[in-house]
Amino acid sequence: MKTKIYKINSITAAIIVVVLFVSTLLSIYLFLNLDFNVYDNEIRMLVSEQRNEIEDGIYKKGDYPYLVFGLEGKVAYSETPFKEKIGDIVNVQEILQFDKSFKIEHREEIKESFVLQQEGKTIGFVAFLIPENEIVKDTAYSRILKIFSPIVIGVLISAVMLLVRTIYCNRRILRPLREISSSAKEIIAGNYNLEVVRIYEKRIGENEVGDLTFSFELMRDELKDKQRREELLKKSQQELISCISHDLKTPLSTIKAYSEGLRDGIARTPKSRDDYVNIIIGKTDLLIDMINELLEYSNTQLNQLDINLQEVYFLEYFNPVMKELEVFVKQQGMEFTSRIETADMLLTIDTKRITEVLYNLVENSMKYIGEKKGKIVIEARREGAAVLIKVKDNGMGISADDIPYVFDKFYRAEKSRSSSIPGSGLGLSICKYIVNEHGGEIYCKSRHNEGCEIGFTLH
383 belongs to a structural domain: yes
pLDDT digits (tens, 9 = 90+) for 237-254: 666 666 666 667 768 878
Q: Indicate the burial class of 88 (C-beta count within 10 angstroms; 0-12, 13-18, 19 or more).
A: middle
State mean pLDDT over 348-377.
Answer: 91
Task: Decide: 318 and 345 in contact? Cβ < 8 Å.
Answer: no
Could you give the CA distance from residue 241 to residue 248 in angstroms, rounded to a whole number? 10
- Residues in Cβ contact with 104 at an 8 Å cutoff, skipping those fewer than 6 apart: none
Predicted confidence at residue 212, as pLDDT, reads: 78
Residues 443, 313, single domain; the answer is yes
Among the residue ranges 10-24, 313-327, 330-344, the one predicted with the least confidence is 10-24
Residues 73, 204, single domain; the answer is no
Nearest to 456 by CA among 443, 437, 439, 438: 443
Predicted confidence at residue 415, as pLDDT, reads: 45
417 belongs to a structural domain: yes
Predicted confidence at residue 451, as pLDDT, reads: 92
Residues 211, 97, single domain; the answer is no
Residues 361, 443, single domain; the answer is yes
Could you give the CA distance from residue 388 to residue 311 in angstroms, rounded to a whole number? 17
Contacts 24+ apart (CB under 8 A), 427-433: 427/293, 427/360, 427/363, 427/364, 428/360, 428/364, 428/454, 429/297, 429/300, 430/293, 430/296, 430/297, 430/300, 430/356, 430/360, 431/356, 431/357, 431/360, 431/361, 431/407, 431/456, 432/407, 433/300, 433/305
- Residues in Cβ contact with 31 at an 8 Å cutoff, skipping those fewer than 6 apart: 147
Computed on alpha carbons and rounded to an integer, the radius of gyration of the chain in Å comes to 55
Residues 317, 448, single domain; the answer is yes
Residues 179, 100, single domain; the answer is no
Residues 27, 167, single domain; the answer is yes
**Cis before residue 81, ω within 30 degrees of 0?**
yes
- Residues in Cβ contact with 73 at an 8 Å cutoff, skipping those fewer than 6 apart: 89, 90, 91, 92
Average pLDDT, the chain: 81
- Residues in Cβ contact with 220 at an 8 Å cutoff, skipping those fewer than 6 apart: 183, 187, 192, 195, 196
How many domains is the chain partitioned into structurally?
A: 4
pLDDT digits (tens, 9 = 90+) for 36-53: 555 566 677 778 888 888
State mean pLDDT over 329-347.
Answer: 93
Residues 321, 437, single domain; the answer is yes
Predicted confidence at residue 381, as pLDDT, reads: 96
Q: What angle do CA 23, 29, 32 make, to 5 degrees?
A: 145
Residues 220, 358, single domain; the answer is no
42 belongs to a structural domain: no
Residues 159, 118, single domain; the answer is no
Could you give the CA distance from residue 151 to residue 69 in angstroms, rounded to a whole number? 47
Task: Decide: 278 and 271 in contact? Cβ < 8 Å.
Answer: no
According to DSSP, the β-strands at 121-131 and 109-118 are: antiparallel
Decide which of 205, 225, 248 is a domain's last residue: 248
In whole angstroms, what separates CA 400 from the centre of its chain? 44
CATH number of the CATH domain containing 64 = 3.30.450
CATH number of the CATH domain containing 374 = 3.30.565.10
409 belongs to a structural domain: yes
Q: Is the pTM of this model over 0.75?
A: no
By residue range, what is the domain housing residue 206? Answer: 189-248
- Residues in Cβ contact with 229 at an 8 Å cutoff, skipping those fewer than 6 apart: none
367 belongs to a structural domain: yes
Among 2-11, 40-49, 117-126, 178-187, top mean pLDDT goes to: 117-126
301 belongs to a structural domain: no
Residues 125, 161, single domain; the answer is no
300 belongs to a structural domain: no
Could you give the CA distance from residue 372 to residue 334 in angstroms, rounded to a whole number? 10
Could you give the CA distance from residue 347 to residue 318 in angstroms, rounded to a whole number? 11
Residues 400, 310, single domain; the answer is yes
pLDDT at 100 over 50: no
pLDDT at 221 over 70: yes
265 belongs to a structural domain: no
Could you give the CA distance from residue 217 to residue 224 in angstroms, rounded to a whole number? 10
